[in-house]
Amino acid sequence: MLREFQLADWFTLANAFCGTGAIFAAMRFLHEGVVRDLMVGMALIPLAFVFDALDGRIARWRKVASTLGRELDSLADVISFGVAPAALGYACGMRGGWDWVVLSYFVGCGVSRLARYNVTAETLADGGDKVKYFEGTPIPTSLAIVVALAMAAWLGRIGDALWFGMWQVGPWQLHPLVLVYALSGSLMISQTLRIPKP
């Protein structure tokens, strides 16, 4: 199978590798409590973004875009821009019951958004080679959340010191900061929000 991979596919796998590394870094931080591990995990997400941008450019440059490449790209994006940011949020202190619900909603929105893109890409391309616009925000926009979390970690505003504190809502806790994940996920699955694709 690996012999059939194109050059762009290896960049896509590098994207997934970075996302997986970020998840492991979040788990290591939860186990060891070393903030440096958390920061390394957060730094891997911008690197994943670079690989994500390069794989598409390389595929167009070499004119070797494929269905396999598109599916690989979506699966890598789920890891790097869906599961990894959620894991980093959890590691930063969003561990209440309502936080779990919101972080899971965020990942579900990311998966749904990518699946919708894959099945509608040809229609959105309108007979051309390239999709003209995104329906909803692309999943890599979650990079903005990771940057905000990195700033919080840098300033020591994680765990019990997490920005905006914690609310007790019924039986579970909610950290209001987690609502940025709810907003991001909702924007991803919007059908009315159309963003021109560069």
pLDDT tens digits for the chain (198 residues)? 666 777 788 899 999 999 999 999 999 999 999 999 999 999 999 999 999 999 877 866 767 666 677 889 999 999 999 999 999 999 999 999 999 999 999 999 999 999 998 888 766 655 555 667 778 999 999 999 999 999 999 999 999 999 999 999 999 999 999 999 999 999 999 988 888 876
CA-to-CA separations, 13 to 10, 116, 152, 155, 182, in angstroms, rounded: 5, 21, 29, 32, 28
- Which contiguous run of DSSP H or E holds residue 134? strand 133-135
CA-to-CA separations, 143 to 40, 81, 107, 146, in angstroms, rounded: 14, 7, 14, 5
- Alpha helices, DSSP H only, in the chain? 7-32, 35-62, 67-78, 84-92, 97-125, 143-154, 179-188
* Sign, CA torsion 194/195/196/197: negative
First-to-final CA distance of the chain: 32
Question: What are the structural domains, with CATH classification, of the chain?
Answer: 2-196 (1.20.120.1760)
What's the pLDDT tens digit per position in 109-129? 999 999 998 888 766 655 555
What's the pLDDT tens digit per position in 9-19? 889 999 999 99
